[in-house]
């Protein structure tokens, strides 16, 4: 198991470097890298065991040097692009980090800790993230302005990003967590600005300084822990009996920033200007998933507290407001982005509640949201490159020219909404595991709005112009990941049992007697769900002869049906103000406790 962890952490950086210098063999190396990552994560899953180890003092010094270099790089970027926010937060980070080094106590605590949650994240990061890397190989063939070296570097960064994510989910040392937290910020910054035009640079700098806010929060939280003589290790702070809440609240805020929770959602929305594989990997298996992961790590501390309840209510608030914002959008990728922000709010809310049932629901939504959202973003890339379509309005009659893409879009939306898919089961468990009435109302309202969003898009793509269908040709590298993701979704009802038994039960022990999550849902619901699953996406691939659409009182003339007119106009700044107010209230609760 020790060797597998080393492969998952170190191999992506080594092979990423090799890909950057590999010439025409970079695609082969990318396939090898992805295969090794997927098989290693599956091996870890099949051989679940707890693993703890401490690294040498020289490694600690090396990581501290990397921290300094990384912050200095951010400082240089702020000067180079004359971005005052980046410059200020880099100076603040450098000051706090240097002070941290002067007060950092020596310790022999465990630096690396592999548990069931880590292995669960390995599966998501490497399977879903690896498939996105394969997709990127085909997507880059359409980026004519990219040189071959630029394409190789892009794939190298994506694979190295997976290595950073594998490392961050096993690190126990919170100082190291800060380094990896900021390394994900670096990766997102490089990927968002990859086209290196004015709008890409502007949005990448916004992503940089907003995530630096999270880095500053982490440093402050670590310093407060040291001032209170609490070891800066996750296992130690969870076991500590003498705890004041302020440092943990500040660390949780760092996670919320990384999860693009209002008012920090602008960085994730701005990431839509990047090549679509970047959007797919940020939303599904990396970066933003750090937020629910960190809240789940802190859930033993937050459970039953005022601060935990405030975070949970805020998560429900984000679910509703982000979903309403999605109704206000016409850009396909931004609709997907807002729905991701909303569902992240739900994952965070469930993690903050902290009961075993709520944690299980959060994990299910994390897993199946990752698969579904990856598939939907891959379709956004296909629409962009093969059909030059980005807006929902332009998706009318898509089924005539892109029946396979339409099928994947419909499957992605259905899998986030209906049984027997795991996302539906996660939402079902969430309603079962929540006792706070305000949160229950917010979750219910947010879920309904999300369904409206999916109808908004689905009604467009399913409108047929005539009986003629074009045989769609999708490049293999772009089609293959979609097929695997579709199979993962369609088999979720079958393979949910081993996922629950080997991964979720060790984390959520109050349902250890449950053989399958399906037993928690009435059989007729599962049966009805499968009928819908089979009918809706597949019927989109068929057409009916001698059938026309008319209104009841028309004289048989043909009319267009518009079922996609769900919009909600609102002053979005009000939502940002609500987000700022939440952080203030949360900090006050940390001081009080």
What whole-number distance in Å separates Cα of residue 214 and Cα of residue 184?
12
pLDDT at 577: 79
Distances (CA, A) of 50 to 36, 81, 117: 21, 45, 10
pLDDT at 569: 53
Task: Record the tokens describing residue 142, joined without a space.
Answer: 């359409």
Counting as low any pLDDT under 70, the low residues of the chain are: 1, 48, 241-244, 464-470, 492-574, 593
Q: What is the pTM of this model?
A: 0.89
Domain assignments of the chain as residue spans, ordered by start: 357-384+391-570
SS (H, E, C) 150-163: HHHHHHHHHHHHHH
pLDDT at 550: 41
pLDDT at 523: 47
Task: Record the tokens describing residue 211, joined without a space.
Answer: 């995530």
Nearest Cα residue to 191 out of 271, 266, 127: 271
pLDDT at 512: 33
Backbone angles phi, psi at 331, to 5 degrees: -75, 130
Beta-bridge partner residues of 53: 112
pLDDT at 574: 65
Provide the terminal-to-terminal Cα distance of the chain, rounded to the nearest Å: 40
Counting Cα atoms < 13 Å in the Cβ hemisphere of 463 gives: 19
Do residues 387 and 330 make contact, with C-beta atoms less than 8 angstroms apart?
no
Do residues 504 and 364 make contact, with C-beta atoms less than 8 angstroms apart?
yes
């Amino acid at each position: 198991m020790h060797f597998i962890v080393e492969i998952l952490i170190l191999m992506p950086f080594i092979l990423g470097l090799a890909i950057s210098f590999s010439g025409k063999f970079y695609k082969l190396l990318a396939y090898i890298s992805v295969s090794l990552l997927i098989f290693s994560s599956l091996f870890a899953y099949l051989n679940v065991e707890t693993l703890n180890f401490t690294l040498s003092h020289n490694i600690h010094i090396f990581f501290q040097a990397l921290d300094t270099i990384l912050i200095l790089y951010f400082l240089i970027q702020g000067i180079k692009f004359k971005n005052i926010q980046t410059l200020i937060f880099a100076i603040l980070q450098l000051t706090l980090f240097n002070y941290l080094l002067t007060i950092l106590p020596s310790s022999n605590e465990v630096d690396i800790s592999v548990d069931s949650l880590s292995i669960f994240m390995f599966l998501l990061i490497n399977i879903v993230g690896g498939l996105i890397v394969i997709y990127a190989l085909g997507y880059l063939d359409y980026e004519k302005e990219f040189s071959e070296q630029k394409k190789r570097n892009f794939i190298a960064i994506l694979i190295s990003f997976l290595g950073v994510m594998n490392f961050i989910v096993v690190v126990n040392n919170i100082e190291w967590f800060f380094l990896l937290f900021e390394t994900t910020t670096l990766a997102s910054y490089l990927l968002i600005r990859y086209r290196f035009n004015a709008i890409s640079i502007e949005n990448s700098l916004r992503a940089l300084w907003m995530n630096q806010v999270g880095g500053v929060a982490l440093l402050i939280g670590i310093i407060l822990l040291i001032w209170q003589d609490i070891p800066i290790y996750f296992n130690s702070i969870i076991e500590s009996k003498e705890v004041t809440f302020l440092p943990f609240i500040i660390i949780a805020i760092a996670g919320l920033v990384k999860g693009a929770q209002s008012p920090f959602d602008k960085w994730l929305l701005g990431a839509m200007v990047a090549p679509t594989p970047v959007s797919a990997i940020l939303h599904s298996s990396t970066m933003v998933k750090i937020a629910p992961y960190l809240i789940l790590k802190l859930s033993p501390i937050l459970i039953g507290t005022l601060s935990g309840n405030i975070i949970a209510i805020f998560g429900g608030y984000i679910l509703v407001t982000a979903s309403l914002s999605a109704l206000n959008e016409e850009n396909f990728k931004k609709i997907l982005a807002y729905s991701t922000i909303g569902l992240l709010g739900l994952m965070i809310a469930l993690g903050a509640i902290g009961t075993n049932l709520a944690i299980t629901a959060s994990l299910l939504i994390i897993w199946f949201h990752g698969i579904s959202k990856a598939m939907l973003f891959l379709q956004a890339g296909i629409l962009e490159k093969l059909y030059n379509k980005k807006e929902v309005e332009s998706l009318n009659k898509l089924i005539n020219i892109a029946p396979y893409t339409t099928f994947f879009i419909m499957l992605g939306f259905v899998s986030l909404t209906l049984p027997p898919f795991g996302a539906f089961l996660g939402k079902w468990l969430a309603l079962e595991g929540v006792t706070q009435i305000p949160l229950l109302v917010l979750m219910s309202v947010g879920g309904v709005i999300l369904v409206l969003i999916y109808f908004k898009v689905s009604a467009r793509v399913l409108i047929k112009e005539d009986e003629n269908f074009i045989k769609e040709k999708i490049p293999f590298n772009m089609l293959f990941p979609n097929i695997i993701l579709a199979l993962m979704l369609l088999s979720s009802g079958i393979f949910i049992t081993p996922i629950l038994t080997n991964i979720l039960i060790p984390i959520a022990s109050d349902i250890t007697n449950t053989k399958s999550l399906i037993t928690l849902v009435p059989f007729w619901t599962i049966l009805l769900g499968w009928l819908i699953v089979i009918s809706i996406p597949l019927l989109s691939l068929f057409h009916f002869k001698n059938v026309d659409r008319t209104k009841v009182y028309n004289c048989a003339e043909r009319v267009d049906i518009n079922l996609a007119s769900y919009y909600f106009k609102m002053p979005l700044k009000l939502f940002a103000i609500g987000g700022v107010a939440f952080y203030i209230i949360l900090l006050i609760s940390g001081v009080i406790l």
